[in-house]
Amino acid sequence: MASTKKSKNEKQSSSAETEWSKRALAEPVTVQYLMRTLQELQSEHEALKRELIKSRRIPSGRIGAALLIAGSSVLAGSVFASSATLAFIGLGLTFWGALFLFARPIKFVRSTLLDSTAIASYTTIDRMVQDLGYKAKAIYVPPYPEEAYLPQYLKGLKEMIVFIPAEDSSIMPTLEEMAKQQFLLKNQKGICITPPGFGLSSVIENELRARFPQIARALTIESLYDSLPRVITSNLELAKGFEIKPENELTHVRITGSVYSSLYSREQGLRSIHFLGCPLTSAIACALAKATGKLVTITKDNVSYDLQTIDVWYQTLEA
């Protein structure tokens, strides 16, 4: 049956092609002809777009409204008929209609799409680091607080950056150099880039501030230990499990069922992910740097064979 349908489609497309070619041969290629063809194609494109939107539209809103209307009518009818059964039915329908409208399905993005958007930036960093021959670990530099006063030439220090030194012995760039927002630092060998988890760290921070009033005043390391697991697992649903605890002057984070876990797969072969972290572990590094006000580096990471468990150890360094 499928083959019949396929052949039918092929026939249709081939007949359309012949029609187009016949018309193209019959009519000389003039501006009017091209304009008409363009208009036809545009209207066809609009029709297809409408059809696509229609097919993608989630009907829960309509179902909710229908249930709400039906429920209210039955409830009103039960009052006139003095029927308890009708009242129960009406109450149920009205409630479920309201619930359908209140807790409707949310938009979602497949995690594979998340990975595919992140891969490009990691591959670029890999190429840059390989080309420059850098081998040292990345250092997350905390930004100055938003409310802190800084002269105009140091305004760039309010942005979170990650410094990738050429060697482990490389010294940190000066404040002036970091404030210039340069990519390639001339005196101290190294590069400064925006952390891959910068955007996610802002989302996490906003969520933390919204959910926990004590964090709204000041982000501390203790409050981060307490609140981060709940925000990452329950509120943002970025992972199924999340543990964060101090461990011998390091901070150990264990993530299970992360949405970014496939970035660590051998097939991807990304190297920068181990010293910069995936967007989630990078966002945690940003949060740690902000909370402590110190430099943070990813000292070690360990990914289970099935990519379900990711262990990351962070170290805070004195500037």
Partner 1 sequence: MNFPLSLWDISLWIAVTAIILLVTSELIGPYSDYFGDFVIEKTRLRLAALILGAAFMVTVILRAIMPY
Distances from the Cα of 299 to the Cα of 47, 115, 125, 128, 146, angstroms: 55, 23, 19, 21, 28
Measure the CA–CA gap between 294 and 172, rounded to whole angstroms.
13
Tokens of 307: 């990519």
Tokens of 165: 């030194």
Restricting to residues 68-87, name those near partner 1 by CB under 8 A.
78-80, 82-84, 86-87
Compute the least distance from the CB of residue 88 to partner 1, in Å. Answer: 7
Q: Between residues 257 and 293, which has the closer beta carbon with respect to partner 1?
A: 257
Residue for token pair 């040292």? 136
Q: What DSSP character marks residue 236?
A: S
Q: Between residues 121 and 256, which has the closer beta carbon with respect to partner 1?
A: 256
Measure the CA–CA gap between 90 and 77, rounded to whole angstroms.
9
CB 298 within 8 A of CB 162: no
The answer to the question of residue 262 lying near partner 1 (CB under 8 A) is no
The answer to the question of residue 237 lying near partner 1 (CB under 8 A) is yes
Measure the CA–CA gap between 287 and 64, rounded to whole angstroms.
40
Other Cβ atoms less than 10 A from the Cβ of 83: the count is 14
Q: Which of 66, 70, 91, 295 binds partner 1 (CB under 8 A)?
A: 91
The answer to the question of residue 63 lying near partner 1 (CB under 8 A) is no
Residues 6+ apart with CB under 8 A from 167: 134, 135, 136, 189
Site size with partner 1, rule: CB under 8 A: 25
Compute the least distance from the CB of residue 230 to partner 1, in Å. Answer: 11
In the three-class reduction of DSSP (H, G, I as helix; E, B as strand; rest coil), residue 197 is classed as coil
Q: Between residues 79 and 148, which has the closer beta carbon with respect to partner 1?
A: 79
Compute the least distance from the CB of residue 52 to partner 1, in Å. Answer: 20
CB 277 within 8 A of CB 301: yes
Q: Between residues 232 and 283, which has the closer beta carbon with respect to partner 1?
A: 232
Compute the least distance from the CB of residue 233 to partner 1, in Å. Answer: 6
Compute the least distance from the CB of residue 19 to partner 1, in Å. Answer: 43
The answer to the question of residue 243 lying near partner 1 (CB under 8 A) is no
Tokens of 25: 């041969």
The answer to the question of residue 57 lying near partner 1 (CB under 8 A) is no
Compute the least distance from the CB of residue 100 to partner 1, in Å. Answer: 10
Compute the least distance from the CB of residue 71 to partner 1, in Å. Answer: 13
The answer to the question of residue 245 lying near partner 1 (CB under 8 A) is no
Measure the CA–CA gap between 95 and 72, rounded to whole angstroms.
10
The answer to the question of residue 61 lying near partner 1 (CB under 8 A) is no
Site string for partner 1, 95-124 (x = CB under 8 A): x---x--xxxxx-x----------------
The answer to the question of residue 183 lying near partner 1 (CB under 8 A) is no
Measure the CA–CA gap between 6 and 212, rounded to whole angstroms.
58
* Residues in contact with partner 1 by the rule CB under 8 A: 78-80, 82-84, 86-88, 91-92, 95, 99, 102-106, 108, 233-235, 237, 240-241
